[in-house]
Amino acid sequence: MSETVSTRTVCCKLALDSASNAALRATAVAFNRAATYCASVAWTQNVTNKNKLHHLVYLESRITYGLGSQLACCARDKAAEAVRAVRAAPERRDKQTGESIPRTCPTFRDDSSIRYDMRTYRLMRLDQVSLYTLGGRVVGQMDLGTFQRNTLYDRSWKIGGAELFCRDGVWYLHITQTKADPAPDEPTGFLGVDLGIVTLAADSDGETYTGADVERLRRWYRARRAALQRVRTKSAKRHLKRLKARQQRFQKDTDHRISKRLVETAKRTARGIALEDLAGIRERVKVQSADQRARHSNWAFLHLRSCIAYKAQRAGVRVVFVDPRYTSQRCSVCGHTERANRRSQAQFCCVVCRHTAPADYNAAINIQRAAVTQPMVPDPTLQRLG
């Protein structure tokens, strides 16, 4: 089995003087315009190999956009990966007409991120970082908390490239680190996990992780945003800006806490984790009311699944994906499958053997049993996110 590598990102806030700030803004404009040019060449000539693309765009990136040699290579790499991602994405169809939505060439805004490799940025003493710009190198001061400092200077992880971007006038440097994963343990069984909206996750041990707090916060933020948007004053707009992304950060934190507990349970009991393959579920499921659509769109199952997958990979826990069809309708005792078994969202009652159980727990047991006959493969979304 080939060795797998985990990648993590350390987000560091940067403090810069006015001259350095201006130099980085000018560099961001030139870099992203060069990346857009590289993407257009890769798109029209159907080239996604970085080495082949290099011979087509290198001179233009340097002469027209003024990039240094290594930044020109970074712009090429960013463009090639974006084009490859668009080409590899599944086909999308219009929900009304059913016609295929054509793919379009990726472009980059002038304020998009700048990609740095190990030759174009360097970590220095006293939490400083040297960054390459069009006008030479500038030095920024990283504002590190205890968590960032311990993570960034953990010698068991290898430091790689970085992405620099500006958000609300503040510069952030996302530094990537890599580490070889331990060989996955041979599981003695599987912990089945059913993912849902009302109950975010339920495992085959009977442990449930409710989504009540996420739903309550979603409703509160929706009502708060609507009220502030109706006011339309400068104060309301400032308040809206402060609210931005708070709900998303809360949901991400919830997903991380749930995935951490699931992986710890599987590791402690020497089991693997079995999950449903929910790819394409948004297109398959039809919802009626506006509130149902909002709640369904707010379901971050892919993020939770990817959190479970990469944490399990780092812990040496195997993860398998099973067919989700009928796991909620099948009786975990007698195996009878019928829609009528699902009395309600929360309750399962078999019409044949009269077995009764919480619906999510019953589905988790079915997922656990289905995992025994499934091949042990890595999460495809984890490879895209890595």
Lowest mean pLDDT among 277-286, 300-309, 376-385: 376-385
pLDDT band at 263 (very low <50, low <70, confident <90, very high): very high
Q: Please, what CATH class does the domain formed by 190-211+246-385 belong to?
A: alpha beta
> Does residue 120 have a pLDDT over 90?
yes
What DSSP line would sit under 85-146, residue for residue? HHHHSPP-B-TTT-PBPPP------TTSPEEE-TTTEEE-GGGEEEEEETTEEEEEEEE--H
| 87-106 pLDDT per residue, tens | 988 888 777 777 888 889 99
How high is the pLDDT of residue 140?
93
Q: Does the global pTM surpass 0.85?
A: no
Q: How many residues are present in the chain?
A: 386
Residue 92 vs residue 117, higher pLDDT: 117
Domain positions in the chain are 5-180, 190-211+246-385
Residue 161 near residue 115, CB atoms below 8 Å: yes
3-state helix, strand, coil in the chain (%, to 5): 45, 20, 30
> Does residue 173 have a pLDDT over 90?
yes
Residue whose C-alpha is closest to residue 103's, from 61, 48, 162: 48
